[in-house]
Amino acid sequence: MSAFRKIAPPVNSVEKIDFVEPIHLLLPGGTSLFTLYGGTQEVVKLDFSFKAGTWYENAKLESLMAASLISEGTSGKTARQIADRIDFYGAQFSSHPYFDNNYISLLSLKKHLPHLLPLLAEVIQDASFPENEFEIIRQKRKQRALVDAEKVGLVAQRFFMRALMGSGHPYAPIPSPDAYDEATLEGAKSHYRRHYYSANATLFASGDVDEGVQKMIVDNFGTAWGTPFPFKKDQPQVQSSQERRVFIERESANQNAITIGKFVPNQHHADSAGLKLVTTILGGYFGSRLMSNLREEKGYTYGIHASVVSFVREALFMVHAEVTAEKTDDAIKEIFFEMQRLREELVPESELEPLRSFLLGRMLEDFDGPFARSQSFSSLYEAGLDVGYFDTIIQTIKTITPERIRELAFTYLDPESMYAVAAGKR
């Protein structure tokens, strides 16, 4: 064996991420264009973000149905023609609804953009919302919702969201698959007309975005399109349930699901970065305390996970697991036990140091390549944060003390403040 193979490579700590901010251009029609050039492949990804999520709905499912129908036809093309054109050029198209924003994405070889960008512009700017396609999608979505209503994991998570926020909150899931019977084609069209227009769009272009690609983007999306519409500005009332412990029976379940959590401060709060680290210690990676306790030691579950879910306006702390039915109550007790232990005991350095390395390594993954960097930037931009937030997270990971961890856990991980929802067999 060569001598150099016996010498371990040096280990370097992450001190700072040299993040190159995308170039920003405000197009004449009001669309914000961010371009992040990079990579070695002649591939381009375009991500449109519209303030058109469930937050902006007048009625439940408008956002979802509008996003689902946008590629199902234009005044000049059928859904089949659109799909065939995208497939012919080997591109990937997606339209995803979410809580705050809806997203339309195109991933393509750069050489095919002259054929695909005009099609993308037509789909976004001239969606026709055919009635037959609406009915097909509505029935498919309802059937999927009926199937999901028997999946205890989804049942527990969605009931938890409604219990925490109130069923009428924009972030709350629909209470029943029957809600699809109330969805209307006009509602989807109205949502599209109100929110899919040039000044309400942000475009993140990443990959091999050279001057030629930028010119094609400006040519296809630079001018004004759609009709500006004033957004609703009322802050919805959070109407949390008075009942913090709920069991939902699903006798056909093979195992039970548990979702536990509460509201926590969003990313603008000074405690946000530290709280995410505390959550990771509790249940955010394979070596976490919840995994060690409930999976490795007691065998209650195959996997359990804790996370902070950040929306633009709110943030939730959540623990979720699927466990053997007869151990449901015991699993909940152990989850609360691990929370309480973090509130009372100091985390030893032997546990904290490997966690620092894990979190810093995971941050580097978030910047591995132009597409990942664009995604990381877009998340910050939509939350109203700047790239300095990344440095804040790094410094928190590197400098947080066991005392500070205990203080944060004491503040935010009180078991009595948690909502706990279980679904499955008694």
Q: Could you read off the pLDDT of 221-242 as tens digits, one per residue?
A: 999 999 988 776 567 778 888 8
Cα gap 240→86, rounded to integer Å: 45
CATH number of 245-424: 3.30.830.10
Contact 166, 237 (CB under 8 A): yes
Rounded average pLDDT over 45-71: 96
Cα gap 418→316, rounded to integer Å: 11
DSSP letters spanning 285-308:
STTSHHIIIIIIIT--EEEEEEEE
CATH 3.30.830.10 maps onto the chain at 23-221, 245-424
- pLDDT at residue 77 in the model: 96
Long-range contacts of 167-173 (CB under 8 A, 24+ apart): 168/236, 168/239, 169/236, 169/237, 169/238, 169/239, 170/53, 170/54, 170/55, 170/56, 170/57, 170/99, 170/236, 171/54, 171/55, 171/99, 171/311, 171/314
Q: In what order do the strands lie in the sheet containing 102-109?
A: 23-26, 32-37, 201-207, 43-50, 102-109, 92-96
Q: For 326-387, where are the alpha helices, taking DSSP H only?
A: 328-344, 349-365, 370-382
- pLDDT at residue 390 in the model: 87
CATH class of the domain at 23-221: alpha beta
- pLDDT at residue 229 in the model: 83
- pLDDT at residue 4 in the model: 59
Check pLDDT > 80 for residue 147: yes
- pLDDT at residue 9 in the model: 63
Global model pTM greater than 0.95: no
pLDDT-derived band at 267 (thresholds 50, 70, 90) equals: very high
pLDDT in tens, 168-205: 899 999 999 999 999 999 999 999 999 999 999 999 99
Rounded average pLDDT over 44-59: 95
Check pLDDT > 60 for residue 389: yes
- Residue 409 parent element (H or E): helix 402-412
Check pLDDT > 90 for residue 403: yes
pLDDT-derived band at 332 (thresholds 50, 70, 90) equals: very high
Q: For 43-184, where are the alpha helices, taking DSSP H only?
A: 62-69, 79-88, 113-125, 131-148, 152-165
pLDDT in tens, 345-383: 999 999 999 999 889 888 888 888 888 888 889 998 999
- pLDDT at residue 20 in the model: 77
Compute the mean pLDDT over every residue in the chain, rounded to the nearest whole number: 92
Contact 311, 99 (CB under 8 A): yes
Residue 25: other Cβ atoms inside 10 A: 16
Rounded average pLDDT over 250-273: 93
pLDDT-derived band at 388 (thresholds 50, 70, 90) equals: confident
SS3 for 236? coil
Where is pLDDT greater, at 234 or 124? 124
pLDDT in tens, 10-32: 656 666 666 778 899 999 999 99
What tokens appear for 274 in the block? 């530290």
Check pLDDT > 70 for residue 5: no
- pLDDT at residue 10 in the model: 61
